[in-house]
Structure 1
Amino acid sequence: MALAPVPARRTVLAAWLIVAGMIGWWAAFSLTMERFHLLMDPNATAACDFSVLVQCTANLESAQGSVFGFPNPILGLAGWVAPIVVGVAILAGARFARWFWGLFWAGLLFAFVFVCWLIAQSIFVLGTLCPWCMVTWAVTIPTFYAVTIHLLRDGIVPVGERARRVASTAMPWVPLMAFLSYVVIAVLAEVRLDVFSSLL
């Protein structure tokens, strides 16, 4: 028996989860390889070190780079597999229980809060911008927004019909929400680190 087609709006979400997961995983993998490179040769510099301001080494070797006792990119290597699997499963017609979505959202909430903390640490404490870290920020933020709105829109979180309609209307605005978040980060970085002058 043929499976019913996945609604278009879920197809877009699924595609984004797959793409974001692949980008996030590649960023984590690249950072992990850079960390191995630095461990093997303490005098080496990471390939993503472009200047004193834009570099990976300072972030990787800082206390903030190993918050849980191991390099942060290892979290990404494990964590970004989940969006890929969920996205593929949605395209295959899978339907998940509320508890599953709850766990998935909790993982994304952790990632979002952790990324916000790392952004603050990079800008206000370390004074550097890690290229691969920024790639991770760029996909974590819209992924969290999209999944949160999806849970409200589809009634996975038990909310009223009005809230579901608002969430459904808000979903197409996720790219703009993410862009505005990037603008806030860019402004904070410019005010604190004077990024523009360093590029001249």
Structure 2
Amino acid sequence: MTATAPDAVASTVSPVDRQAGLAVPRASAVWVLIAGVVGLVAAATLTIEKIELLIDPSYTPSCSLNPVLSCGSVMVTPQAALFGFPNPLIGIAAFTVVTVTGVLAVANVRLPRWYWSGLAVGTLLGTVFVHWLIFQSLYRIGALCPYCMVVWAVTIPLLVVTASIALQPATGDHADAGNAVARGVHQWRWSLTALWFTALILLILVRFWDYWSTLL
């Protein structure tokens, strides 16, 4: 029998087994694991730097490189502890979950769709928070935290990947509509990510151009 278009897409994005959960494509599973580990290391490093700064207010964080790339300038602001405690603690908790999920996915443990949907929603909330921090860094604080930027760099594509996993082709009622969304997200996910990063890089270049131009 000749494969239909939905079948062709289903062969690219692993099929759904309702009883065993979603079969995650190998590349996506590896990316979730890498994003979790990198984000966790960045969040833990920021937490350690914050502790050092609390112990010794004159301490210069390792990521304070120049007037623009300066973790120290960011860490002492109210925005760095929005909920009354250092923001990196949120990152440690969140990226621990992502890392464990990545390990399970790489090990071919099929987690249910509701789990991946929940992770995608949680990542979406994290992405909103990250963009609030980006706005604050660019237009209120006037400095960039390199370790924070690592978190930004993994959170955005992590959202795209988890969303594409959660929206894998389904069967049953409204499957065609759901599969159309899934195909669209899967097909354009990296183009969307590239445009997203391009916009952020341009914002950073424009905001701090007076400083960057002195380095040319």
Among candidates 147, 163, 174, match of residue 189 of structure 2: 174
**Conserved 8 A contact 1:141-1:178:** yes
Query: TM-score with structure 2 length normalisation?
Result: 0.81
Structure-1 separation of matches of 2:196 and 2:174: 26
Query: TM-score with structure 1 length normalisation?
Result: 0.87
Structure 1: gaps (5+ residues): 1-5
Among candidates 109, 129, 133, match of residue 94 of structure 1: 109
Where does residue 46 of structure 2 map in the other structure?
A: 31
**Conserved 8 A contact 1:153-1:165:** no
Where does residue 148 of structure 1 map in the other structure?
A: 163
Structure-2 separation of matches of 1:151 and 1:49: 38
- Post-superposition Cα deviations, 1:24-78, rounded to whole Å, max 9, x if no partner, equal 0111011111111111110121111111111101111111100111111111111
**Conserved 8 A contact 2:137-2:144:** yes
Change (3 A) 1:177 1:61: same
- Does the alignment pair 1:113 with 2:128? yes
Change (3 A) 1:180 1:101: same
Larger radius of gyration: 2
Structure-1 separation of matches of 2:174 and 2:27: 23
RMSD: 2.3
Runs of 4+ deviating beyond 6 Å: none
- Does the alignment pair 1:196 with 2:196? no
Structure 2: gaps (5+ residues): 1-12, 15-22
Change (3 A) 1:170 1:69: same
Among candidates 117, 138, 160, match of residue 123 of structure 1: 138
Report how many residues are paired: 194
